[in-house]
Structure 1
Amino acid sequence: MKRLSGGAQREAGLPISPSGFDLQAWRVVMNELRNIGRTLRQGFLIRAGLGSIVIKFSSKIISLVTVVVLANVLGASDFGVFVFIIALIGLLSMPAQLGLSNLVMKVTSAELVSRDWSAIKGVWRWSTRLSLASSSIIVLVAVAISVGFVESINDKLFYGFLVSLPLVFFVPLSNIRGGALRGLHLVNLGQFPEQIIRPGLFLVLVALSVLFGYESSVEAAIAMSVTAAAVAFVSGQFLLSRYTPNAVRSTKPDYSSWRSWLYAAIPLSLTEGASLIMANTDSVMLGMFSTSSAVGVYKIAVQGAVLIAFVMDALSMVVAPYFSKLHASDKKYELQKLVSYTCLASFVFALFAFLFFVIFGELLLEVLFASDFSFAYIPLLILSVSHLVSSWVGPVGVLLNMTGSHRVVLVAVASASILNVALNFVLIPAFSLEGAAWATGISLIYWKTFLWLASKRQLDINSSPSPLCSSLFSSR
């Protein structure tokens, strides 16, 4: 929308308030909002968006309740060991992830339009076999190294780590199934196994173990987590089998495009790997330089802070295919509107969640957790600020990935990961919990700022809600 100065508005006969509020712009925006609302109410996007938000919110709440129960049952020290092992498995599983879930989603969505059923079946099987091969190598190497250092490793850490290794298989395969379902435009079903079934079953198993008085241990908690992941994988496989188009089911797989798939998967895998580093390095390095109790306390802060960004995460999964479609159709204006509205929705929620933590965060920690976890408040606020800034910028990484700018995203996330490791190395020994929080927060803000600038430069798209705000107000 073209902005007019106050003088130009007067010459054009447009109403303008004494404060400089552009009434004509306001009417245009309101009309656009009403038109978009009518379209969305009749279409898929609003249903998928609301469903995705409900699934994401439910997942976060389930995970938070699980953390509350597990932290109180295990205590800060053993809970820290559990968190350390899960974070370590997250780093080890990077080669098995290989960006395959996003690749499968992208290829499936594209080939669904062209009705190339053989290519869809081919990319599903190819990605599964590649993930299985990578996971097998990772597990064999991990077992060999663990056995070699068994005498110098704490028993809880050693046996808990061995029990957790099946996660290296289940999680990547489950994510691939989810990517296939999302590519078939079954966005909510694609999220359900990993976002609801896995954390929900884990919570049920933990609750049952407490209810029936079973001995709580790190190994038992890990075993329950693995069981939940296995059931989530089986559920995802069932859903994919149930909703696979008959044309895909009856055709032969076509692997002729495997080189292009691999080429496309490489930047996605590096980006995803760097993201996993960002998500898990702080917990792993905190366990290396500090105590297991500190890892447990820090997990509480992380678990709370991620609630701020859940709307952005939920919406990004819904709008990702539409980013690609609008960009391919050269509909820049519609793309800018979709990006801005997505960012605005996520930021408004993030702002309210942040203010809630500022006011009630310390009280919540006292009510929900034992005194050992009271030190999580300051790291919680630090991480919350970074997620608030991230929500203002919006899902810019998804935008750039879906519009062909994988290399820019790779550079941003790789450099942010290096910065994160360096800051953790410097700040954790000096400031412990707060140091880990500052390292992660600074890295996240750097990462999102880098991508925001890249989006403006390469796509001429402002990924923040600023265009919406500036369309409502203009100078005289």
Structure 2
Amino acid sequence: MSTQGSTLSKLAKSASIVMLAMIFGNSIGLLAEVVIARSLPPSLYGELTLAYTIVFSLGTIALLGIHQGMTRQFSAAETERRQTQILYAGFSMILFSALATVGGLYFFRGWFADFMSADHLYEHLLLLSPFLLFYPLSRAALATLRAEKRTLPAVIAQHLGGRGMAFLFLVIFVLADAQFVGAVVYWVTTPLFISLIALYYLFESGLLRNPFDTSPDKKTVRKLWDFSWPLAIGSGIFLLLNRVDILMIGYFLPSNQVGYYRAVQPLKKIATFALGSFTFLFLPVATEYYTEGDTDGLDQIFTITTKWILLITLPPVLLFALFSPDVIKILFGDNYLPAAPVLTILSAGLLFRAVSGLDGDMVKAIDRPRIELFSGALGLLSNIILNFLLIPTFEISGAAIATVSGYIIYNGVELIWIYHLTGGSPFSVNIAKHIGVMSVLAILVSGILPSPVGLVGLIAVGISLTLLQPVVLILTSSVDEADLDLVRQIESKTGKNLEIVKKIVKKGV
């Protein structure tokens, strides 16, 4: 096992690669959503995205949590033969489940249309049904690359090549004045291209060659399923936590309200995109720490990665929460301004997702996947109840409040269990000081600036908040030794003399 400093350096390097790719991929995804939303009426956009939400939900359920089980079991396997058995068992189970889900959607698509009272949902579901095959396959392939700690191939497949190629198809159809077809093609081909690129890298490494030489035995399938089924239910619960708001808005409100709410969904990812950057490598690394019994080291990397996630996440979250009308108007136009309060609530509320750190990966690393099932069930139950109570009165803002509340309960319960089992926690006094001071400064800035601030003003505020962070860290003495160690690692690997930087950073320790 490498030293803690080396491990944190690897996590930071992996996260940097993933983050850069995610910035590109999410920017492409946001641009695609903006193009689709602007080119379609809110009612049609709402009905089409409602169909996509249903298909995406079914595709996630079809995974049965097996892709997460593949990563965990593959990382813990001691021989290459054992890894190959796990790989083929996972792909076989996911393929079977995906085919069954496609059949289920075909027979029940009429019921979905009647339940949501959406006239064209029947046809939209049929057009999007190939997604149910491509998406589970793409997640399984990415899970394997993750288990191998192959960060660069994974981000090329998921964020660069896959989404980039799908966006190219969208642009072609939009230029041909076929915006509706372009939207369908974009959503369907994104996981298709991800699958093809990821599978290419797996074939190249030799993992998927000679499939008949190594086949999974019953013991492998059973062990993978025993680990995965709680994650399957947990994934379904997490999915509903993330999507039940759109489904219930579709049930209670007109389709244009679905369109307003769905338009801000890519923007709320800003609260968790840094989380996704670190999670790629965190699970296999944390699994190694736990397997070797180093709970102190596990706790330390849990806390410090949470802090780094927060530092990346906080400026854009504050920007979106405090200047939501300007953000909505610039991206989607005046027609979507009713979604501004939703963006404020989701951005501010989902900051807890970043502050709670990598709790989901922690429960997998310590081999307690049922914790996620239990905590997710509580979060989902509260989410559904609050949606029923709040949507009829507060409409889409009520759905946003219900979603945030569900996440707080879900993550809070997980963190309590993690602390009980390992003594680990993502929170620290330094994190609390930094959030408090940065939030006060951002609120003061929003109160001083005239409205609207415009695109140039938003960019200036975002840059200012980002540049303020190291100043606030040092002035509030919120720097940790691990932060200083990361500077030393950078100095060592780049060969640059960073003595001045180290002296400044030390003042904040």
Question: Normalized against structure 1, the TM-score is what?
Answer: 0.84
Q: How does 1:70-469 map to 2 (within 5 A)?
A: 70-111=36-77, 114-115=78-79, 117-146=80-109, 154=118, 156-212=120-176, 214-217=177-180, 219-244=181-206, 251-255=213-217, 256-466=219-429
- The number of equivalent residue pairs is 432
Matching residue's letter, 1:464: F
Contact 2:306–2:354 (8 Å) recurs in 1:
yes
Matching residue's letter, 1:141: G
Secondary structure (helix, strand or coil) at the match of 2:313 reads helix
Contact 2:85–2:215 (8 Å) recurs in 1:
yes
Residues of 1 paired with 2:58 and 2:233: CA distance? Answer: 14
Residues of 1 paired with 2:349 and 2:247: CA distance? Answer: 20
Residues of 2 paired with 1:393 and 1:150: CA distance? Answer: 37
Secondary structure (helix, strand or coil) at the match of 1:93 reads helix
Residues of 2 paired with 1:283 and 1:171: CA distance? Answer: 20
Q: 1:221-280 CA deviation, whole Å, 9 max, x = no partner? A: 223321232222222211211123599879523423221111011111111111111111
Matching residue's letter, 1:82: L
Residues of 2 paired with 1:142 and 1:251: CA distance? Answer: 35
How far off is 1:170 after superposition?
A: 0.8
Contact 2:363–2:372 (8 Å) recurs in 1:
yes
Matching residue's letter, 1:46: A
Residues of 1 paired with 2:114 and 2:418: CA distance? Answer: 51
Which runs of 4 or more aligned residues in structure 1 lie more than 6 Å from their structure 2 counterparts after TM superposition? Answer: 148-153, 246-250, 467-473
CA gap 1:132/1:444 in 2 versus in 1, 3 angstroms: same
How far off is 1:220 after superposition?
A: 4.5
Residues of 2 paired with 1:472 and 1:437: CA distance? Answer: 32
How far off is 1:210 after superposition?
A: 2.1
Residues of 2 paired with 1:285 and 1:384: CA distance? Answer: 20
How far off is 1:315 after superposition?
A: 0.6
CA gap 1:385/1:263 in 2 versus in 1, 3 angstroms: same
How far off is 1:343 after superposition?
A: 0.4
- In structure 1, the partner of 2:471 is none
Residues of 1 paired with 2:208 and 2:396: CA distance? Answer: 53
CA gap 1:275/1:149 in 2 versus in 1, 3 angstroms: closer
How far off is 1:177 after superposition?
A: 0.5
Matching residue's letter, 1:208: I
Residues of 1 paired with 2:249 and 2:258: CA distance? Answer: 6
Deviates more, 1:245-254 or 1:272-281: 245-254
- In structure 1, the partner of 2:465 is none
Contact 2:57–2:239 (8 Å) recurs in 1:
yes
Residues of 1 paired with 2:213 and 2:11: CA distance? Answer: 30
Matching residue's letter, 1:83: T
Contact 2:260–2:339 (8 Å) recurs in 1:
yes
Matching residue's letter, 1:313: G
- In structure 1, the partner of 2:15 is 49
Deviates more, 1:153-162 or 1:132-141: 153-162
Contact 1:362–1:374 (8 Å) recurs in 2:
yes
Residues of 2 paired with 1:363 and 1:77: CA distance? Answer: 22
Contact 2:50–2:258 (8 Å) recurs in 1:
yes
Identity %: 20
How far off is 1:173 after superposition?
A: 0.9
How far off is 1:197 after superposition?
A: 3.1
Contact 2:53–2:243 (8 Å) recurs in 1:
yes
Contact 1:298–1:433 (8 Å) recurs in 2:
yes
Contact 1:320–1:399 (8 Å) recurs in 2:
yes
CA gap 1:181/1:367 in 2 versus in 1, 3 angstroms: same
- In structure 1, the partner of 2:451 is none
Contact 2:169–2:182 (8 Å) recurs in 1:
no
Matching residue's letter, 1:121: T
Structure 2 unmatched runs, 5+: 434-476, 480-509
Question: Normalized against structure 2, the TM-score is what?
Answer: 0.79
Contact 1:81–1:296 (8 Å) recurs in 2:
yes
Q: 1:67-100 CA deviation, whole Å, 9 max, x = no partner? A: 1111000121111112111110122224411111
Secondary structure (helix, strand or coil) at the match of 1:197 reads helix
Matching residue's letter, 1:456: Y
What RMSD in Å do the two structures reach over aligned CA positions?
2.6
1:60 aligns with 2:60: no
Contact 1:340–1:467 (8 Å) recurs in 2:
no
Residues of 1 paired with 2:341 and 2:111: CA distance? Answer: 39
